[in-house]
Structure 1
Amino acid sequence: MPQHTPTARICRDCDGFPIVAITTGTRHADGSRATLRVTCPTCQGTGRARPAALVRAGR
């Protein structure tokens, strides 16, 4: 069954998952894992592609 095309353009670098948690492998004193939150530098955490800037070419 075909899926609906999203109306907003999804960021091509993060595929719509702009903020991720990465485990560092170390653990805190209570046993939980230490994580880092990282945002996509392209869309800056929005998950949507920015529109292309208009550039005037020619005369």
Structure 2
Amino acid sequence: MPRNTPSPRVCRDCDGFARVAITTGTRNPDGTRTTLRIECLACHGTGTTAPSALARAGR
């Protein structure tokens, strides 16, 4: 019988979309748009969080 592996917990701050690209409105000399890549500060760009039992054990 196969074992079920628990699914990773999705970050509540970013809903799993840990990295985004935001356009600044300006263009580069080759015509492409200038973008900023931003990562979620809560999960540090992973999109998942540690289970609460593990987070509490580290204190």
State how many pairs are aligned. Answer: 50
Q: Which has the higher helix share?
A: 2
Which residue identity is paired with 1:7? S
Instruction: Work out whether residues 43 and 50 of structure 1, in 8 Å CA contact, stay in contact via their aligned partners in 2.
Output: no
Unaligned runs of 5+ in 1: 1-5
Equivalent position amino acid for 1:41 in 2: L
RMSD: 1.7
For structure 2, list consecutive stretches of 5 or more residues without a partner in the other structure.
1-5
TM-score by length of 2: 0.74
